[in-house]
Amino acid sequence: MTRFIFITGGVVSSLGKGLGAAALGALLQARGYKVRLCKLDPYLNVDPGTMSPFQHGEVYVTDDGAETDLDLGHYERFTGNPASQNDNTTTGRIYTEVLAKERRGDYLGATVQVIPHVTNEIKDFIREKDGSADFVLCEIGGTVGDIESLPFLEAIRQFGNEVGRERALFIHVTLLPYIPAAGELKTKPTQHSVKELMSVGIRPRILLCRADREIDADELRKIALFCNIDEDKVIPALDASSIYEVPLTYHKEGLDAQVLDAFGMEAGKDPDLSKWEQIVRRIKNPEGEVTIGVVGKYTNLTDSYKSLNEALCHGGIANKVKVNIKFVESTLFDEGSDEDIVHALNGVNGILVPGGFGERGAEGKIKAARFAREKKIPYFGICYGLQMAVLEAARHTAGIEDATSTEFEDQTGTHLIGLMTEWTKDNKKEKRGNEDDMGGTMRLGAYPASLKKGSKVAEIYGATDISERHRHRYEVNINYKDQLEESGFIFSGLSPDGALPEICERTDHPWFIGVQYHPELKSKPFDPHPLFTSFIKAAMDQGRLV
C-alpha cells in the first residue's frame, strides 16, 4: 500500500522544504521502505527550462530529458533514485493538459473550472504514483497563502480526504525567527501559517520548525497547543553545518519515527544511518583543502550552480579534503586585461568553467581556459566550459584566430561551435531550426558516448561506454577535429555515431578536460562522480596551496 506525505511550507520561502523532503525520503529508505519523491510547482511556466538562473537557480535535468526544479537534484542525491519527467509538474503543465483536453472535447460540454478540472488534473498527477512505492513524498512549491498555490492545496486536501488519514499525512515546514531585541524565538508566524493552512481545510499533523538556534521545550509545547498538533510531532529543524547532516539531525529529533506513528505504523528498531555518519565525519574532519575557481556569470546566485557545488563537495569527500569554491564573475573579464584574470585566479588549485548561455561572459571564460592551459592548472570545462576551451585551443594553439560560436552576436568568423540542427535520440532523428521555440527544444537528457581507449577520460571512468545528461543547443563542429588534435587538443569522447564531440582533453597538460554534458547532475555524496573525484585529486596534486 502506498502512503502519501505532502510537504507544504509557510512563513517564508527558501526554508529548505526540498531538503527536508529529501532527508525524510532518505530516512524512510534507510528503514527499508521504497520511496518516491515529487514536486508540484505553482508557477505558470510549463517547466523551469526557460527561466533565468537568477530567477530560479539551476535547472535540473533528468535522464528522460525533463528540465525540472532543482529540488529534484536533492531528491536524487539523497535517495539515489533517478528522477524523471513525472516527478515534477507546474501550474503551466497542468493547464496545458487541461486546455488540450478542452480543445479535444474531453469535458463533454462542461464549463471548465479550477475545481474540479484543474484540481482533478493535479490529483491525477499524484494518483499516478500510487503503487510505485511504499511512500510518495510530494512537496508543494511556494508558501502557504500564495494565490498560485491554492489549486494545489485544494487538490491535496481532496486527495487526503479520498485516501484517508491512514494513507495521507500533511507535514508543514515553518520558521521560528529570532528577535534579538526580545532575545527569543517567535512562534506567532508559525501559528498564523498553520491557521492559514487550516483555513483551506488542511490540518498538518507534523510541524518541522526551522530555527537558527535551540528551541525551548516550552516554546515547542506552546506551538503544539496553539496549532493543535501532538507535542512529539512538533519537530525542531535547526540549521545544520552541512546538508548531509540533515537526515541525521531530523532522525535524532524523531521525524521518521513520528511519520510512521502518524500512519499508525510501528517504528521498530533504529535505521542504519552509518553511510550518512561517514559522509558527515569526512566533511567535518578534512585532511586538507583545495580551492577551485568557478568562472561563470551567475555567480551572485550560487543556487544556479547547485548540483555543481554539491559535486565538487562530493569530489572532496572522496579525497578527504575540503573544497573551497571561489566564484569568479566571468563578465568582468570580457573587456578586462589578462592581468585581471591572473589576479582573480591566482592561488586557485583548479579552474572550472560551468554551463552558461549567451555571449556575455564568454571571452572571460576563454581567458580563464587560456590561463589554466598556460599555467598548467587543472581545468574542467562543463558544457559551455568545453565550448569555450575549444575556442581557446583553436585561437591560440591551432591557428584559427577568428574561431567563434554561432551563439555569439557577431556572426563573422570561423564557427567551431554551431547550432545543433540534427541528432539521433533512441534511433530517431531529432531536428531543430533557428526559429524553433526555446522551451524544451535543446538536446536534453541522457545520451551515450564512446570514449577513446587509452585516453585520460577512459582511465577516469574505467570504461569506454558511458551515458551522461545533456542540456545544450550548440555543439563543437567535428570537422575541426584533425586540426585541433594536431595542436594537442584531442576529441576523446564522441557520440556513438561519431558525429558529435562529447569530450575533449589536452595531451600536453596534467588535467585539462572539457565535457559537453553535465556530470554534476549524477554525482552523489556516497557515489561521487569519477570526473569530480579525479579533478579534485588533480587540484590537490597540483600543490598550488592557498
> Out of 363, 407, 468, 505, which residue is the one contacting ligand GLN (CB under 6 A)?
407
Site for ligand GLN in 150-209 (CB under 6 A): none
CB atoms within 10 A of CB 526: 15
Which is nearer to ligand GLN, 58 or 256 (by Cβ)? 58
The C-alpha atoms of residue 197 and residue 495 are separated, in whole angstroms, by 51
The C-alpha atoms of residue 111 and residue 99 are separated, in whole angstroms, by 12
The C-alpha atoms of residue 301 and residue 53 are separated, in whole angstroms, by 8
Binding mask 370-389 for ligand GLN (x = CB under 6 A): -------------xx-----
Question: Does the footprint of ligand GLN cover residue 355 (CB under 6 A)?
Answer: yes
Give Cα separations from 483 to 5, 452, 486, 529 (angstroms): 57, 18, 5, 31
- Report, in Å, the least distance between residue 501 CB and ligand GLN: 12
The C-alpha atoms of residue 390 and residue 379 are separated, in whole angstroms, by 12
Q: How many residues bind ligand GLN (CB under 6 A)?
A: 10
Which is nearer to ligand GLN, 186 or 473 (by Cβ)? 473
Q: Which of 117, 172, 518, 529 is catalytic?
A: 518
Q: Are 79 and 24 in contact (CB under 8 A)?
A: no
Which window, 294-302, 343-351, 355-363, 495-503, contacts ligand GLN (CB under 6 A)? 355-363
Which is nearer to ligand GLN, 165 or 473 (by Cβ)? 473
- Report, in Å, the least distance between residue 122 CB and ligand GLN: 31
Tallying the residues shown for the chain, one arrives at 546
- Report, in Å, the least distance between residue 361 CB and ligand GLN: 11
- Report, in Å, the least distance between residue 224 CB and ligand GLN: 47
Which is nearer to ligand GLN, 240 or 419 (by Cβ)? 419
Residue 3 pairs in a beta bridge with 135
Which window, 158-166, 352-360, 424-432, 522-530, contacts ligand GLN (CB under 6 A)? 352-360
End-to-end Cα distance, the chain = 54
Q: Which of 172, 383, 407, 504 is catalytic?
A: 383
Interaxial angle between packed helices 150-163 and 91-104, expressed in degrees from 0 to 180 and rounded to the nearest 10 = 80
- Report, in Å, the least distance between residue 357 CB and ligand GLN: 4
Which window, 48-56, 350-358, 396-404, 501-509, contacts ligand GLN (CB under 6 A)? 350-358
Is residue 520 flagged as an active site residue? yes
Question: Does the footprint of ligand GLN cover residue 244 (CB under 6 A)?
Answer: no
- Report, in Å, the least distance between residue 272 CB and ligand GLN: 38
Question: Does the footprint of ligand GLN cover residue 356 (CB under 6 A)?
Answer: yes
Q: What is the DSSP string of 311-367?
A: HHHHHHHHHT-EEEEEEEETHHHHHS-HHHHHHHHTT-SEEEE----SSTTHHHHHH
The C-alpha atoms of residue 251 and residue 269 are separated, in whole angstroms, by 12
Task: Give residue number: closest CB to ligand GLN.
Answer: 355
Is residue 518 flagged as an active site residue? yes
- Report, in Å, the least distance between residue 407 CB and ligand GLN: 6
The C-alpha atoms of residue 403 and residue 75 are separated, in whole angstroms, by 41
Which is nearer to ligand GLN, 65 or 141 (by Cβ)? 65
Give Cα separations from 426 to 62, 304, 423, 429, 496 (angstroms): 16, 30, 10, 8, 12
Per-residue burial over 333-372, b = 16 or more CB atoms within 10 Å of its CB, e = otherwise: bbeeeeeebeebbeebbbbbbbbbbeeebbbbbbbbbbbb
Which is nearer to ligand GLN, 384 or 532 (by Cβ)? 384
- Report, in Å, the least distance between residue 383 CB and ligand GLN: 3
Site for ligand GLN in 495-534 (CB under 6 A): none
Which window, 19-27, 41-49, 155-163, 354-362, contacts ligand GLN (CB under 6 A)? 354-362
Which is nearer to ligand GLN, 407 or 505 (by Cβ)? 407
| Grid coordinates belonging to 415 | 564557427
Which is nearer to ligand GLN, 357 or 379 (by Cβ)? 357
- Report, in Å, the least distance between residue 300 CB and ligand GLN: 18
Site for ligand GLN in 467-496 (CB under 6 A): 471-474
CA 317 to chain centre: 19
Which is nearer to ligand GLN, 135 or 298 (by Cβ)? 298
Q: Are 282 and 314 in contact (CB under 8 A)?
A: no
The C-alpha atoms of residue 122 and residue 128 are separated, in whole angstroms, by 10
Return the active site residues.
383, 518, 520
Rule CB under 6 A: which residues touch ligand GLN?
355-357, 383-384, 407, 471-474
